[in-house]
Structure 1
């Protein structure tokens, strides 16, 4: 499977808020963001420059967008990206939407990730 991916501009952050917290307005701005709630936490992924200083967060993520949309019956899409990164020792944070997937890697690993994905037959724009 050959895929095309794009690098989204900017630095991203993943933040943790309490399970009873409301989704914060600062997390719902920019080109790409997502908020997820479980019984244990509220997680927010957004541009790093939007996160207030007093929020538990991990900054330094670069975002890669897989060019979709992909049918739900299509198998192996995300695995075709994640497995080469895993084999190269590059950790990821993945997010799926209705149409496509996003894979985040540490900014310092972005160049290596692009190289590894190219070697796996993917095109990174």
Structure 2
């Protein structure tokens, strides 16, 4: 599956990756936006949300952009994330991922976005913004 050419769509929000105490109650404000991901363990509550939604008690890193891999894919489909992450890793770009039942989301630093898009296009993928194809060139 790693040879498959995928379509990724750039999501509009600039995101933050936040860490909170696992007992922190969720604010409804943190859930606003085009993309929000929540993961809780016994040690932490991690939330990816628009950076405008960060709460005061969060430890966070700002300036991430999300590329949604267009699916859906069955949860047992192999190689989807690898097809996207391998070329980015080979270029030494930092990434953060989140998955849903239907697909995967790859976050890259905002300052690396154009380079990431070029790398993905060179790997045979298409990156879209506002439903317009942008491969093989970076989004303007």
**Under TM normalisation by the shorter chain, which class is it?**
over 0.9
| Aligned-residue offset at 1:59 | 0.5
Report how many residues are paired.
125
- The alpha-carbon distance between structure 1 residues 122 and 27, as it changes in their structure 2 partners (threshold 3 A), is same
Pairwise mapping of residues 12-91 of structure 1 onto structure 2 (< 5 A)?
Answer: 12-91=15-94
- Of the structure 1 ranges 17-26 and 101-110, higher mean CA displacement relative to structure 2 is found in 17-26
Determine the C-alpha separation between the residues in 2 that align with 1:60 and 1:53: 17
- The alpha-carbon distance between structure 1 residues 52 and 19, as it changes in their structure 2 partners (threshold 3 A), is closer
Which residue in 1 is equivalent to 2:10?
Answer: 7
2:126 matched to 1:120? no
Determine the C-alpha separation between the residues in 2 that align with 1:51 and 1:77: 30
- Of the structure 1 ranges 66-75 and 110-119, higher mean CA displacement relative to structure 2 is found in 66-75
Determine the C-alpha separation between the residues in 2 that align with 1:25 and 1:11: 18
Q: Using structure 2 for the length normalisation, give the TM-score.
A: 0.85
| Aligned-residue offset at 1:116 | 0.2
Determine the C-alpha separation between the residues in 2 that align with 1:14 and 1:68: 23
Q: Using structure 1 for the length normalisation, give the TM-score.
A: 0.95
| Aligned-residue offset at 1:15 | 0.7
**Please, which runs of 5 or more residues in structure 1 have no aligned partner?**
none
**The one of 101, 105, 119 aligned to 1:102:** 105
- The alpha-carbon distance between structure 1 residues 54 and 22, as it changes in their structure 2 partners (threshold 3 A), is closer
- Of the structure 1 ranges 22-31 and 112-121, higher mean CA displacement relative to structure 2 is found in 22-31
